[in-house]
Amino acid sequence: MTGSGKTKFTILYLLNVVCACRFLFDDGGRFSRRLGVAPCYTVTQLESALPTRWVIFNPARMFPDDYAAGFDWFCHWVFECAKGGPGLKVVTVDELWQWADARSIPRGLRLCTQAGREHGIQLLTATQEPHRVNSSIVGQCAELVCFRLQEPKAWKCVSDLGADAERIAALPLGSFIAYNRLSGGQLHGRGLWEGSKLVRFEKV
């Protein structure tokens, strides 16, 4: 739900993960503002950003009337970039259901999620509505990090993935339970606040 801590968690993960490159689709400009990293609007800018390991794409100029096409194009571009060298490449998109809903998955995203593993591609997404994300994407989830959810359809979705829906619904804002769907392990965390600002998380 809004204000639960999922965006802060995403940003802290990106700041701390050891990887070859981070690729962010930033249609609303939120990531570039929060991270203080200039967004890329053109292919030249994207290519120039690669050595920094932070590639944030805003589709507003290349695809002003069709952000969905921009997302598909970006996924294709990332896939081709990922072939160029070893190491983990983290592809991040907020509210993935906007681009891969229950009915369809863009071909570029399909490449990244189904064929990208051999090139080190990992998908990271956060959403208030996991039940709206395409089921084939949700079903491949290896790590599920749950903050508080209040929508019954969302409870069912995370329950089907192995989470305890009642506990998720009762989580305080800023707290989470992470489920490793491969090992069955769990990690519990809580947010540390400075006034009304969530600043970091700690294991509990």
Asked if residue 72 lies in contact with residue 35, where contact means CB atoms within 8 angstroms, the answer is no
Domain that holds residue 59: 6-203
> Does 1 map to a domain?
no
Query: Do strands 176-180 and 186-194 pair parallel, antiparallel, or not at all (unpaired)?
Result: antiparallel
CB crowding 28-47: b at 16 or more within 10 Å, else e: eeebbeebebebbeeeebbe
N- to C-terminal Cα separation, the chain: 21
> Does 24 map to a domain?
yes
**Number of domains making up the chain:** 1
Query: pLDDT at position 140, please?
Result: 86
CB crowding 107-137: b at 16 or more within 10 Å, else e: ebbbbbbeebeebbbbbbbbbbbbbbbbeeb
Enclosing H/E stretch for 78 = helix 67-82
> Looking at 36-129, which runs of residues are DSSP E strands?
54-57, 89-94, 121-126
> Does 180 map to a domain?
yes
Asked if residue 138 lies in contact with residue 179, where contact means CB atoms within 8 angstroms, the answer is no
> Does 78 map to a domain?
yes
Residues of the chain with pLDDT under 50: none
- Give φ, ψ of 191 to 5 degrees: -85, 145
The residues, any chain, with a CB within 8 Å of residue 15's CB and separated by 6 or more, are 35
Neighbours of 102 (CB within 10 A): 12
> Does 129 map to a domain?
yes
The predicted model scores a pTM of 0.94
Strand partners, 188: 177
Residue 43 sits in a domain whose CATH number is: 3.40.50.300
Asked if residue 74 lies in contact with residue 108, where contact means CB atoms within 8 angstroms, the answer is yes
